[in-house]
Amino acid sequence: MSQIPENVRGAVEFDSWLTPFADVLSQRRFFADKWAYDITHATPDGSFQSLSKFARDSYKSYGFHADPHTREIRYKEWAPNARQAFLIGEFNGWNETSHELKFKDEFGNFHITISPTSSGEYAIPHDSKIKVMFVLADGSKIYRIPAWITRATQPDKETAKMFGPVYEGRFWNPPNPYRFVHKRPEFNELEDSLRIYEAHIGISSPEPKIATYKEFTANVLPRIKYLGYDAIQLMAIMEHAYYASFGYQVTNFFAISSRFGTPEELKELIDTAHGMGILVLLDVVHSHASKNVEDGLNKFDGSDHQYFHSLSSGRGEHPLWDSRLFNYGNFEVQRFLLSNLAFYIDIYQFDGFRFDGVTSMLYLHHGVGENGSFSGDYNEYLSPERSNVDHEALAYLMLANDLAHEMLPQSAITIAEDVSGYPTLCLPRKIGGTGFNYRLAMALPDMWIKILKETSDEDWDLGKIVHTLTNRRHGEKVVAYCESHDQALVGDKTLAFWLMDAAMYTNMSILSSATPVIDRGVALHKMIRLLTDSLGGEAYLNFEGNEFGHPEWLDFPNANNNNSYHYARRQFNLVDDELLRYKFLYEFDGAMQHCEKQYKWLNTPQAYVSLKNESDKIIAFERNGLLFIFNFHPTKSFTDYRIGVESPGTYSIVLNTDHKVFGGHERIDESSKFVTTDLPWNNRKNFIQVYIPSRVALVCALK
């Protein structure tokens, strides 16, 4: 080990299979560390600054800033390709010459300070429309929404008729800004579980409309608290002009989606969640940007390579997403993106980030085509000849993790949406990793959908199911989930719909007996969630509505559906109807979350699976002292079924999917006690004997 570079020694000692690639890992870490050094020493006097100070100073310097004492307004913009810049808006009657930005420095920054009115008021009224006009070298004029704008809104119908549906920049300076009153919940990465409720504000209503921040605060937060989730992952928050993009075509990175309400209302939502002890994560999109020109970053200063790789380089566009790709090696792009993270941590009090499109960022092929499939061979990630890793993007992700954990040392959570399995992605930066806390276990929902589409119950391969659920890198935590927003989109189906399909429209009433399809679907929906939660990772995620088996796909209004909101909603009314079976799935989800909260199986060492009986369709495993037993057999129940356990004692049932509150058949006596017999069984030191009915799962604990 003496030849292992010191800056990655910890990672290599943790995973000896990395030894042949230690030099590559070292070079990649050094690249990011060099960037960090350059950033933290990039001060006028050469003094040291922290990464968080750099990011904070950047968002406090660029864009608009109103001084409450002097009533002056400062505005700064980076536009190196422009010759001149003018601030125009409602405040000056859209005069194109009255407010020229001065002092274009050597880096391409324009500045202006606007004095208060004669009556001592801000010269630019709160929420008034505003733009920046650039004059290019050839004398032509272009009009843009300022890149650091914190508020952008859809035009009214008349304006849209005249000029198209281009978003409008707003000067956001409320006289009574929202004041946070609750402290952030703390998160101990070593000990605490993470149960995530993934949500989209706009669809969070049974009504066919766009729901609001205030409605989510009043109507959905109490549900999340009731169910026992301790974190919310908010999608589509960063402003996006096209609603049907699901928030993944960002136009204005510092503005939150105006469709759902105001910045102050989002702050109230997050503060209220904190008061409930719930962390709030932002689904951040730094992997690409919308191609929109007039209301986005594309060709912002007239060039095609200001924030992005140039189009002529072949790296400026995503081959599938029709979007622009950031040039992470550009210092000003690093400033923009890092300060964007700091802005959301400080201004909105987000507790961490789920980074979208990490696979696309990590590789020059973006995970597309034949190069985009990964077998797990380390050479695919770490061989200089084969890996196609984008070192600049990887370095940016390292710095982003450094920043989040520096700013929130007691609570920061970072999650990578990576399907490739890049080694060291979720190891700490200090030992040579990329620094994420978790990656999404993206193979799990694909597995469940494939099984439900192609295989009947009696043919399920339990060995393959268990292998997929447990096939993860040792020591690198994953977020397990059965389905996320991806599986809900039109063209696919939710798990509930795959299980029950059209029967959900006709047979979910408790006034009639459950049909075989519904009975099977309700039973398996509970078991699939519990198996994934308990065996599949170190954290768990649910997409809103799936906790009660939402019956339909998700489709945003667009030209193909006549701009209908019918499928762009979550029908919480189904849960609240006491005559429908959705309440059973909902109550089970809450029981599962609260059981985990009490007994803690997430964020503990991976389970020991003692039994995968293909003929009986039984899976049994232990995790953190708990015993999990699953009978997936469609018809067979077993009496006195022998289950091996390591620890002796008396086991009691703490969760039973067959309980009547969960729509079960009450075949289990929950007062039963299972006393161990001191004889080895299935490579465990002891065994118990249990009654386990068909399509039932039990969780037992030593009492």
Same domain, 27 and 86: no
Supply the range of the domain harboring residue 95.
54-171
pLDDT, position 43: 75
pLDDT, position 395: 98
Mean pLDDT across 368-381: 87
Pairwise CA distance, residues 286 & 361, whole Å:
9
Query: 615: which residues sit within 8 A by CB, 6+ positions away?
Result: none
Same domain, 37 and 79: no
Pairwise CA distance, residues 242 & 321, whole Å:
13
Sheet holding 63-66: strands in order across? 63-66, 73-78, 109-114
Q: Is residue 11 part of a domain?
A: yes
pLDDT, position 490: 64
Q: Would you mind telling me the total number of residues written for the chain in this entry?
A: 703
pLDDT, position 293: 97
- Residue labelled with tokens 């509505």: 545
Same domain, 23 and 59: no
Q: What is the CA angle 673-678-684, rounded to 5?
A: 95
Q: Is residue 438 part of a domain?
A: no
Same domain, 61 and 158: yes
Q: Is residue 500 part of a domain?
A: no
Query: 252: which residues sit within 8 A by CB, 6+ positions away?
Result: 145, 149, 152, 167, 169, 238, 239, 295, 296
Same domain, 81 and 32: no
Q: How many domains does the chain have?
A: 3
Concatenating the DSSP letter of every residue in 153-219 gives EPPPHHHHHHH-S--EEEE---SS-----SPPPP--TTT---EEEEEEGGG-SSSSS---HHHIIII
pLDDT, position 574: 97
pLDDT at 390 over 90: yes
Q: What is the pLDDT of residues 162-177, one digit of tens each?
A: 777 899 999 999 999 9
Q: What is the pLDDT of residues 289-312, one digit of tens each?
A: 999 999 999 999 999 999 999 999
pLDDT at 182 over 60: yes
Written as six digits, the tokens of 261 are 């309400």
The CATH number that applies at residue 663 is: 2.60.40.1180
pLDDT, position 108: 94
Pairwise CA distance, residues 446 & 546, whole Å:
16
Query: 541: which residues sit within 8 A by CB, 6+ positions away?
Result: 196, 197, 198, 233, 440, 479, 480, 481, 484
Q: Is residue 667 part of a domain?
A: yes
Written as six digits, the tokens of 190 are 């070593």
Span of 36-45, 52-61, 143-152, 604-613 with lowest mean pLDDT: 36-45
Q: Give the other-Cβ count within 10 Å of 473's Cβ.
A: 18
The CATH number that applies at residue 65 is: 2.60.40.10
The β-bridge partners of 649 are none
Query: 370: which residues sit within 8 A by CB, 6+ positions away?
Result: none
Q: Is residue 370 part of a domain?
A: no
Q: Is residue 103 part of a domain?
A: yes
Same domain, 165 and 121: yes
Mean pLDDT across 52-58: 96
Q: Is residue 689 part of a domain?
A: yes
Q: What is the pLDDT of residues 543-585, one digit of tens each?
A: 999 999 999 888 999 888 999 999 999 999 999 999 999 999 9
| Ramachandran bin of 668, using left for φ above 0, alpha for ψ from -120 to 50, beta for the remaining angles | beta
Same domain, 78 and 61: yes
493 confidence band (pLDDT: 50, 70, 90)? confident
Contact call for residues 654 and 660 (beta carbons, < 8 A): no
Q: Which of 171, 190, 223 is the last residue of a domain?
A: 171
Mean pLDDT across 520-531: 98
CB environment 255-272: b (16+ within 10 A), e (fewer): bbbbbbbbbebbbbbbbb
Mean pLDDT across 417-437: 97
Same domain, 27 and 130: no
Concatenating the DSSP letter of every residue in 272-304 gives HHHHTT-EEEEEE--S-B---STTSSTTTTS-S
Mean pLDDT across 126-153: 98
Same domain, 634 and 668: yes
Same domain, 42 and 127: no
Q: Which residue has the higher pLDDT, 280 or 384?
A: 280
Same domain, 151 and 60: yes
Q: Is residue 647 part of a domain?
A: yes
pLDDT at 1 over 50: no
**Would you please indicate which residues are annotated as catalytic (active-site) residues?**
356, 417
Contact call for residues 484 and 540 (beta carbons, < 8 A): no
Q: What is the pLDDT of residues 334-371, one digit of tens each?
A: 999 999 999 999 999 999 999 999 999 999 999 998 77
Q: Which of 116, 144, 171 is the last residue of a domain?
A: 171
Average pLDDT, the chain: 95
Same domain, 85 and 162: yes
pLDDT, position 2: 57
Q: Which of 107, 142, 171 is the last residue of a domain?
A: 171
Written as six digits, the tokens of 285 are 């999109």
Sheet holding 650-656: strands in order across? 608-613, 618-623, 626-631, 696-702, 650-656, 673-675
